[in-house]
Every structure is written in C-alpha cells, then in structure tokens.
Structure 1
Amino acid sequence: MEKLSMPYLSLDHLKMGLIRSGQLKLLPKDDEKIKHKMWPIVREMIKTVIENHQNLIIEGDYIPFEFQKDFSAAYLKEIRFLCLILSQNYIKHNFSQIKNNACVIEKV
C-alpha cells in the first residue's frame, strides 16, 4: 500500500484509538463487540470515500462478512473486497515466517 502511495486505514489502529481515548469501553480482546461498535463508523467512512471519488484500502478483520447488506448497488459496484485466508496446514508449516512478517507494513 505504501509502495503504491495508496491511502489506507488500519482498523486495529482505529480500535486502539477508540479504546485508549475512552470512546469505546471495551477491552482489546472483545473483538466481536468491537466489530459491532466500529462497523457503523467504518461503513459511513466507506460511503464518504465513494461519494468523493476517492480511494481507500481498509485493512483489518472488523468488517462483517455480510457487509454487502449495508450498501446499495451503486456503492457495491465501487467496492473491492479481498479476504486473505490461510489454511490451518499453511499456518502450521509457515508459522515462524507469518509471525516474523506480521507487522511489516507498519514498519516499512
């Protein structure tokens, strides 16, 4: 993302900002509750980006899989949803490499 100069938003950073500022009275481990609190904010940010003809990569696992129901067809045609899924076998055989590269984008 940085190499291509694409703007991006880390939902983990947003989560921690909301928790540390006291705006979100949850613990970092409360992922499912956090998803439900953050999604309305992120959803409206996505709509704003689309309406302003901008680009934004949103990275993180706080987007519900059923996100499509919250957007009209006009919005959906502008959204590209990519989900990285690693098999249990891949993780088992590559765990040290995955762990060593976990925060690469934040430290480039």
Structure 2
Amino acid sequence: MLTFNETRQRTLSTPDEIAAYLAESFRDMQENGPFKSGDEVTITSRSGLPPEIGVGDVGIMLCDLPNQLFSWVLVFTAGGQQMAVQIQTANLAKREPTPEEGND
C-alpha cells in the first residue's frame, strides 16, 4: 500500500468560476455528510446549549458539512419560536421514532 499527499493549484478568475467551484464543493460535502438536510435529529448532549433553545431535544437538520465541528439545525425555543442554531455535530444523532409515534 502507498499513501501520499498531492497539492494542486487552481486559479478562479471570475465570479462565475468562483460560484461554480463553491457550488460543486458544497454538493460534494453534502453527499459525504452523516446527516442530510431535512433529517430529524435528536440532541444527545446539550453541552453549550442554553435550556431555552432546542425544546424537546429534537430538531431538523438544515446543513451538515463533513469535517466541521458544527451543524445548522432548526429547533424550537421555549417561547415557541423556530430558530436556526449551530449545534456541535458530535452532539446530534438521527432521530428514531418512539413506540407511541409508530413508523408511519
């Protein structure tokens, strides 16, 4: 087996080239992440998260990118407002329905 690192240089000259490169990178990151946009998630650890944010310890994944420490999750606040917040990705898990909810 052989392992090595490669480095390449690329010049992006126009806003269109920059936008295209970022869009491609974003699609690649989304495909390789542990969560997909729209996944129901459970907050498994509230470390650093105030009690009034993330009511019920559940949310909907908005954006998870691999190799990032935080993911964007849509949650409820104690006041009943929906809020997009960053939560440590390590503190999230895909949500499994409870027996009361069934598997509809």
Which structure has greater helix proportion?
A: 1
Which structure has greater strand proportion?
A: 2
* TM-score, normalized by the shorter chain, greater than 0.5: no
- The TM-score by the shorter chain falls in which range? under 0.3
Structure with larger Rg: 2
